Amino acid sequence: PMRVSELLASKGDLVVTVHPDTSLEQAGKQLARYGFGVLVASEDGSVVSGILSERDIVRKVAEAGAKGLDVKTRSIMTRKVYTCTPDDTLDDLMRLMTEHHFRHVPVVNEEGNVCGMISMSDLVKHRVVELEAETELLQNMITSR
Within 8 A by CB and 6+ apart from 52, the residues are 18, 27, 38, 39, 41, 73, 76, 77, 78
Per-residue pLDDT in tens (0 to 9) along the chain, 145 residues: 899 999 999 998 899 999 999 999 999 999 999 999 999 999 999 999 999 999 999 999 999 999 999 999 999 999 999 999 999 999 999 999 999 999 999 999 999 999 999 999 999 888 877 777 788 888 888 888 7
Return d(Cα 33, Cα 96) in angstroms, integer: 29
Return d(Cα 145, Cα 88) in angstroms, integer: 38
Q: Closest Cα partner for 51 from 21, 85, 79?
A: 79
